A and B are shown apart, each in its own frame.
Chain A
């Protein structure tokens, strides 16, 4: 071997990760090259030193639990939490068992939406704070590759944006109630129901999750370095963002469900919009444009689209075009968004979203688009 191997090659050689045919070449090189031997000694010491300490926390294994049982539990979870509902539940904070939703809702507001899938974005200017509330929806079609990229970005955000978990001043709690009146008393808004459901569907449960609130601190240095890594301008995150914790309100929600042939066939979720307060020197249009660029739009295209979105009240929904299609249509005296996803386990899965009188409505089930629209028409 005429040239000296680099540090990475030496490290690989130490781990026996060097092609067997070349091992002898490296060995003879090491014999004749004191500099490489010195490098190698140091690498070997580092490796032993680190491994010795890591072993204190990581020398464990466990008998693998039976796969059959795990698979049964997995199907149960899939059936009780259908795809679209789960995504929206995350957004609305229904899965309060984990701290994720609050985190997700917030991140979205900050990073603007797309990274977390379905998140709100931005803000009505006030004196010191801005508040985001959902009043309308906008759809951004994304291809499978961008969707994958979003997943990756989302994972990065979770790790690199906030200091710790949200501190919940008030935890959201789940409870089942027997009547709509009880749900109204608990949530404080006019909860409605569906008068007509298809034959074979039977009312199953009314579940109320109470309002929760908490605070979360942005780790500004980490968040900015993440932005740089993603090729975004770190200055989009102003100093004020790291000073005070952000406040998030997870609204009270009501879920009514109907069973069909032994499993949940229809869900109807209502709730006020989640809201987030954050400093008003965050520029949502610029931030939004950057995220749109991350999704593969050209700078000009992203800028133009971002200008047209009212970031103070628009929930931006990235729809994966390879598995779902969407269209707007009139519902409940306003405009709703119908999403048809083809990948659900039980074939076609349809969801309908709309906002009226400050309440978000989300209806979803394994029924045809026409049936879903008809069911929505019977809202009382």
Chain B
């Protein structure tokens, strides 16, 4: 399997096969991240394309970390879309619509929606980087990848997470 560096070199030269190899390699990760952020299949697909169009249009240098770059671009796009969507409809509705129904009781469902709405509001009121960090950590990204996405050292991730969690608790208006 060709390395990312070699493939990036190919992309810079306009080699479509190299671009396609990178696409296949990273498409599932980028899509998963975006679906997680926006919660809609159609929007996640569109944003995933947007991410790769950026890669196509502005090829990175061969030494660049393409995985981290893609995650960073996807996070920015997804987070913006998420905020826009929240403003329009309230995120909890969109989530409910696509969550497989396991027939929860009406009361439990109502409670879940209240919490989801407050979580959304809280994330929206945090500094964007903190909100993104919490979301990506919830998605299960390891510290090394978080460090690459946010352009910080791996050693700082713990501190940033602790701060973000504190801020989240402070901002959350529901039960403590």
A62 CA / B159 CA spacing, docked (Å): 31
A316 → B minimal CB distance (Å):
19
Contact status of A343 and B172, CB under 8 A, knowing A11-B162, A165-B84? no
A320–B57 alpha-carbon span in the complex (Å): 12
Given contacts A53-B119, A53-B172, A67-B23, contact A83 B57 (CB under 8 A): yes
Cα A67 to Cα B143 in complex, Å, equals 28
Bound complex: CA of A7 vs CA of B115, how far in Å? Answer: 28
Nearest Cβ distance between residue A10 and chain B, in whole angstroms? Answer: 7
Is B159 touching A11 in the complex (CB atoms < 8 A)?
A: yes
Interface size class of chain A, counting residues whose CB lies under 8 Å from the partner chain? 35 or more
The reply to whether A77 and B59 contact each other, CB–CB distance below 8 Å, is no
A12:B158 contact, CB within 8 angstroms: yes
Give the number of residues in B that approach A within 8 Å (Cβ atoms): 63
A218 CB, nearest partner CB in chain B, Å? 16
Residue with the highest number of chain A CB atoms closer than 10 Å, among B52, B115, B158: B158
B-side interface mostly: helix
A164 beta carbon closer than 8 Å to chain B: yes
A20 contacts across to B, CB distance below 8 A: none
Contact B159 A158 (CB under 8 A): no
Judged by a CB distance under 8 angstroms, whether B3 is at the interface is no
Q: Is the CB of B158 within 8 A of A50?
A: no
- Least distance between A216 CB and chain B CB atoms (Å): 13
**Once bound together, how far apart are the Cα atoms of A64 and B39, in whole Å?**
13
The minimal Cβ–Cβ distance linking A192 to chain B, given in whole angstroms, is 29
Known pairs A8-B155, A53-B115; A71 contacts B35 (CB<8 A):
no
In angstroms, Cα B48 to Cα A9, docked, is 34
Check B98 against A64 for contact (C-beta < 8 Å). Answer: no
Tell me which residues from 127 to 158 in chain B have a Cβ below 8 Å from any Cβ of chain A. 128, 134-135, 138-139, 142-143, 155-158
Q: Which of A7, A15, A46 contacts B159 (CB 8 A)?
A: A7
Given A54-B119, A155-B76, are A64 and B32 also a contact pair (CB < 8 Å)? yes
Inter-subunit contact B159/A6 (CB<8 Å): yes
The answer for the CA separation of A343 and B172 in the assembled complex, in Å, is 47
Q: B84 and A56: CB pair below 8 A?
A: no
Most buried by B among A61, A74, A144: A74
Contact across chains for B56 and A12 when beta carbons are under 8 A apart? no
Q: Does A169 contact B (CB under 8 A)?
A: no
Asked if B89 is an interface residue, CB under 8 A from chain A, the answer is no
Minimal Cβ-Cβ distance residue in A for B51 = A74
Q: Which of B99, B128, B160, B169 contacts A46 (CB 8 A)?
A: B169
Contact B58 A11 (CB under 8 A): no
Question: Nearest Cβ distance between residue B36 and chain A, in whole angstroms?
Answer: 6
Distance A13 CA – B158 CA, assembled complex (angstroms): 8
- Return B115 CB to nearest CB of chain A, in Å: 5
Q: Which residue of A lies closest to B27 (CB)?
A: A67
The answer to the question of A57 belonging to the interface, with a C-beta cut-off of 8 Å to chain B, is yes
Interchain CA distance A316-B28 in the complex, whole Å: 38
Kindly report which residue of chain B lies nearest to residue A67, judged by CB atoms. B27
Residue B116 CB within 8 A of the other chain: yes
One digit per residue, 1 when the CB lies within 8 angstroms of any chain B CB and 0 when it does not, for chain A 138-170 equals 000000100100010001001110001100000
Bound form: Cα–Cα A9–B153 in Å: 13
Known: A8-B155, A8-B161, A54-B134. 20 other contacts (CB 8 A): A10-B158, A11-B162, A12-B155, A17-B143, A17-B157, A46-B165, A47-B165, A57-B116, A64-B27, A65-B41, A70-B27, A70-B45, A71-B24, A74-B23, A99-B84, A158-B80, A159-B80, A160-B128, A165-B87, A343-B58
A-B CB proximity, top 10 nearest: A8-B159, A12-B158, A8-B158, A11-B158, A46-B165, A11-B162, A17-B143, A155-B76, A54-B138, A67-B27
A residues neighboring B (CB under 8 Å): 6-13, 15, 17, 43, 46-47, 49-51, 53-58, 60-62, 64-65, 67, 70-71, 73-74, 77-78, 83, 99, 144, 147, 151, 155, 158-160, 164-165, 320, 323, 343, 345, 347
